[in-house]
Amino acid sequence: MIKVLVVAFAVVLGGMSAAGAQGVLRIAAVVNDEIISVQDLSERIQLVMSTSNLPDTPEVVKRVAPQILRVLIDERLKRQEAERAGITVEQADIDEALAEIERNNKVPPGQLDAFLASRNLPKGGLVEKIRNDLAWSRYVARRLRPQVRVGEDEISDMVARIQATKGMIELRVSEIFLPIEDSKRASEVRALADRLVEQARRGDFASIAQNFSQSPSAAAGGDLGWVTKGQIEDPVFEALKNLQPGALAGPVENANGISIYQLRGRRAAGGLDAATKVSLDLTQMVVPVSGRPEDAINAVQTMAAKASDCRSFREAAKESGSRLSGDIGTVSLTDLPQQIRDVVQGLRVNEKSKPTMTQDGATIYMVCGREGGEAEVDPRQRVRTLLVRERVDLLVRRELRDLRRDAFIEIRI
């Protein structure tokens, strides 16, 4: 049975010295027989504030700290359950994950510590998150995935439903989900949702989802994939379909919590043939021509040189002075004008295009996501994979609910 004791969330989270941390162990929460220290919480807050582009102010820290602590509690519960199942994470696994972070951020091998230090990011908090995520993903694969069975008749029903949507409007949607597990915390969660909406309009929705969302989609930056009417609430779908890619809908409150949605793309559903078509999630940086075209090209190249991935590209695009800079959304490659198609079709994710002159000015594109174009896969196998993923996600939600219900959790700050 869960037991939660909230003493007060008025502790000062910043400014902990190493000596102070060693002299007095300040406890943020107890999770069964383990503690989460204030230093653990402080390090995670630093990581979240940096990767989500949230303003590092006392007011924002105070507002997001309770949710971040609950994320840490959930992570600890997941890791404990994985350890009870005999699942371990070796140092070699963590080293490989850190090496992947280096590659994704174009950091020279062995220079991650310096990269993190230059951004004032604590390595300890990052390593702890990697350890917890790896342990839980292996637990899901070994313990939950084998429980899922999908029958041939279920696949046939889904194939028929997918084919029936062909030609209908289909939306690419991302979500941030904040649960309301205690009615006493409802106003606190609503305030956080409002703050995240405000920040998501200016920042990176995917990073915010990874750090705050409590949905299984959080690991994919909140990506729910392509959905048709009936797969999400009708009022939400109707609101989203009239928006431009990159726009938000919400916060939307239901019986379980609060959701924030982002529209990433719109297309006509292609039925089972859609997976063979290439769709790109694009963002652009535009510098209008006010004099010589070559000056605009040089300017956009200089700004784009600061960016190594989509997040930093979007930040640099704000300097361009054009309201056209920013997310284009998810579009089919065949729907793009030939001039744009030629410069983006060969790009990898997080890769910039060469500068090109359009009617709007000197433009550089970056691919933030790519779908389709893979070798043809049996349609029924694709549907089986979709059904398995949906049911595993449901099992994950139930498992975490049960872990919370059966745990002893004491919050001390």
Max distance between CA atoms of the chain, in angstroms, equals 70
Do the domain assignments include residue 258?
yes
Q: Containing domain of residue 322, as a range?
A: 279-371
pLDDT exceeds cutoff 90 at 5: no
Q: How many CB atoms lie within 10 A of CB 247?
A: 16
**Statement to judge: residues 105 and 196 lie in one domain:** no
**Statement to judge: residues 364 and 294 lie in one domain:** yes
User: Whole-angstrom Cα distance, residue 203 to residue 201?
Assistant: 6
Q: Which two tokens stand for residue 272?
A: 């089972």
Confidence band of 203 (pLDDT split at 50, 70, 90): low
Residue with tokens 């056209």: 324
Q: How many CB atoms lie within 10 A of CB 327?
A: 22
User: What does the pLDDT average to over 352-375?
Assistant: 80
Do the domain assignments include residue 75?
yes
Q: Which of 248, 269, 290 is the last residue of a domain?
A: 269
**Statement to judge: residues 81 and 124 lie in one domain:** yes
93 by Cβ neighbours in 10 Å (0-12 / 13-18 / 19+) ranks as: middle
**Statement to judge: residues 306 and 328 lie in one domain:** yes
**Statement to judge: residues 193 and 231 lie in one domain:** yes
Confidence band of 20 (pLDDT split at 50, 70, 90): very low
CATH number at residue 355: 3.10.50.40
Do the domain assignments include residue 52?
yes
How many domains, the chain?
3
Do the domain assignments include residue 34?
yes
Better-scored residue on pLDDT, 196 or 203 = 196
Residue 115 neighbours by CB under 8 Å, 6+ apart: 102, 105, 107
The whole-angstrom distance between residue 378's C-alpha and the CA centroid of its chain comes to 29
pTM more than 0.85? no
Residue type (1 letter), 323: R
pLDDT in tens, 44-95: 888 888 777 777 788 888 888 888 898 899 999 999 999 999 999 999 889 9
**Statement to judge: residues 287 and 189 lie in one domain:** no
Do the domain assignments include residue 290?
yes
Confidence band of 14 (pLDDT split at 50, 70, 90): very low
Do the domain assignments include residue 334?
yes
Q: Which of 209, 242, 269 is the last residue of a domain?
A: 269
Cross-strand pairs, 93: none
HEC profile for the chain?
Answer: CCCCCCCCCCCCCCCCCHHHHHHCCCEEEEECCEEEEHHHHHHHHHHHHHHCCCCCCHHHHHHHHHHHHHHHHHHHHHHHHHHHCCCCCCHHHHHHHHHHHHHHCCCCCCCHHHHHHHCCCCHHHHHHHHHHHHHHHHHHHHHHHHHCCCCHHHHHHHHHHHHHCCCCEEEEEEEEEEECCCHHHHHHHHHHHHHHHHHHCCCCHHHHHHHHCCCHHHHHCCEEEEECCCCCCHHHHHHHHCCCCCCEEEEEECCCEEEEEEEEEEEECCHHHHHHCCEEEEEEEEECCCCCHHHHHHHHHHHHCCCCCHHHHHHHHHHHCCCCCEEEEEEEHHHCCHHHHHHHCCCCCCCECCCEEECCEEEEEEEEEEECCCCCCCHHHHHHHHHHHHHHHHHHHHHHHHHHHHCCEEECC
**Statement to judge: residues 28 and 113 lie in one domain:** yes
Do the domain assignments include residue 160?
no
Count Cα neighbours of 157 within 13 Å in the Cβ-side half-sphere: 6
**Statement to judge: residues 293 and 221 lie in one domain:** no
- 132 sits in the region (left: phi over 0; alpha: psi -120 to 50; else beta) called alpha
**Do residues 258 and 178 make contact, with C-beta atoms less than 8 angstroms apart?**
yes
**Statement to judge: residues 283 and 259 lie in one domain:** no
**Statement to judge: residues 265 and 283 lie in one domain:** no
- 123 sits in the region (left: phi over 0; alpha: psi -120 to 50; else beta) called alpha
Do the domain assignments include residue 159?
no
Cross-strand pairs, 223: 174
CATH number at residue 90: 1.10.4030.10
**Statement to judge: residues 256 and 284 lie in one domain:** no
Cross-strand pairs, 283: 327, 366
pLDDT exceeds cutoff 90 at 30: yes
Report the candidate in 100, 85, 94, 78 with the shortest Cα–Cα distance to residue 131: 94
**Do residues 337 and 365 make contact, with C-beta atoms less than 8 angstroms apart?**
no
**Statement to judge: residues 257 and 286 lie in one domain:** no
pLDDT in tens, 215-265: 878 878 888 888 887 777 888 888 898 888 888 988 988 877 899 999 988
Q: Which of 240, 269, 298 is the last residue of a domain?
A: 269
